[in-house]
Structure 1
Amino acid sequence: MHSYSSAQMADFILKKQSDSAFSSLALEAARHELERDCDGELQLITSTVSALAPPSGESLVAKSTRLSAKGSDQQVCRVILSQLAEGSSKKRNVAEALCVFQVKEPEAQDQGADAEKAEKRANTGKDSLSSTAEMRRLQIFEGACKVIARHGFGNSTMREIAREAGLSVPLMYKYIKDKDDILYLIMTVNMQGMFTFFDNQEFNSGSPEENLIRAVDKYIDYIGDNRKYINLVYSETRSLSAENRMKVFDTERDFMRRWQAIIDDGVDKGFFRPVNTELLSNFIYFLCTVWALRHWSIGHFPVDEVKTALHEFVLTGLMKVEN
């Protein structure tokens, strides 16, 4: 099923865009249903949306049903859009859509470049190529990042992502379930890259001050190499399902504990003044991430100047003041 949240629907109603929301969600749900068993490219012929009831500000859910035979040159899908009725716990159908697509045979794809890029990313810590499944998921990761960066998550289709990854849609569905699964894949691969990067560094070889400076420097370097993925994670987290969003938040909390351990060590050894280390670790992590999120504004500064400014800012708040 595909859905719009209650907040999104309230915004659509406010802007008088309910019909557009119905049509967009219906097309996305229809494509998702048909692409599972379709090797060709789906080209929309026509779609009709019939309103059955006035929309409310509740979340909108789409359920799709294939009406055509698998393998047919034309594919037809019916989509029912439903909401909870205001002041009721019962769902009601608010619109019905009929979407008709022409199936176009796919052009031959050169998968060599995509596989090479996926392997390169795997070898630099994004993931390991322990199996064909890992290779395929990394190809999907690369393709999805490109497509979503161009069009945004909501406007990206499974067909485009598969094409960019050099895979057929049915083959891609062997490794992911739906668009939410693709977005979660992007989040987890990116976060795993952070864990791998941090765990491979020697952050305990010097004084707590030196260790923290080293962590900041290395993380800024990591951000510089992976800025587009980090920006994508931050901009699209809200599009995840509630379940997957909480998984991502739990992973981030785990990453925070690595920063917190460095600060805890400094406090325990008397280098840093007593502070709320959980709070400070979150602050420092986010300050570093600004190098990606605000790169459009501060990207003209040399990276060494950025690092030095962070050192001074962070250590000023942490170091004990000598009497």
Structure 2
Amino acid sequence: MSAPPSAGAANNFAEPDAARILALARGVLHTEAEALLELAPKLGDAFVSAVRLMLATPGRVIVSGMGKSGHVARKMAATFASTGTPAYFVHPAEASHGDLGMITGSDVFLALSYSGEAEELLSILPVLRRRGTRVIALTGNLQSTLALEADVALDASVAREACPHNLAPTTSTTAALALGDALAVALLEARGFSPEDFALSHPGGALGRRLLTHVHDVMHAKADLPCVGPDSSLADAVLAISRGSLGMTVVCDPQDQVLGIFTDGDLRRAFAKQLDLQAVKVREVMTPTPKTIRADKLAVEAVALMEKHRINQLIVTNTQGALAGALNMHDLFKAKVV
């Protein structure tokens, strides 16, 4: 009997050509896409019952599965948890060795098994039943033991796997993932879960920053802003810009109502006209009625406004329209909102 080739041995198979590789890959995508389209009409009363059961539970949704179904179950639990449905994954084999203590009668147990005959799942069902835990099965066989023992059984069957031998879980795992997403979105909608709620579950990521960062978090406060009156000289405005290091000065009336903005760009245009710095009033060269934003708006709204009007500075006002602060694009980059 010959020994198997070592890890360093040369491959003995013919390398497939590019056309064959692409044909196989496209075939996989077509097979899985068709399976998802065929899955949609199967949704019915059982799906509605599953959603209602998960909504009504005072506990958590416990998701479980073996092998590839276990990997799908982990992702499913993570999706539930990040969209407003408290959930976590329990490995069915570990459950038989102590982890069943993590599951209570107030929880819902979502079991994934394409065959519906995974021994590790079936062995813990009697204990779950004694505790009063409700069970939802997600399976490819509605006549399986798991489906018949569950309170609700969801049909995740597919015509065939994308594997050319119809063996490796490919299409079936994609279908299970999609059904999990469908459950999560249905639950999200029923709970009135908002983008702000989503951000609170993701405070450390880019999405969290975009949805949780407000203008008042990144703006320069009024006390730190250069501000001149409309009758100030152009020279005074230049000095104000230099003191403020924001590339601009706000032009306000005595009640702090914003009348205009005088920027580095306005200054360059004034120099191009060879204007007298002492004689010219800032109201003659400022940009009147500048773009403003409220302090309670999201910082991403400030980004959109600045990009739309191609400006680098934005004045912040309060609810009465008075000056509250200002920010520039650098501030938004620094806050990692952009």
Alignment TM class, shorter chain as reference:
under 0.3
Q: TM-score, normalised by structure 1?
A: 0.24
Q: TM-score, normalised by structure 2?
A: 0.23
Larger radius of gyration, structure 1 or 2?
2
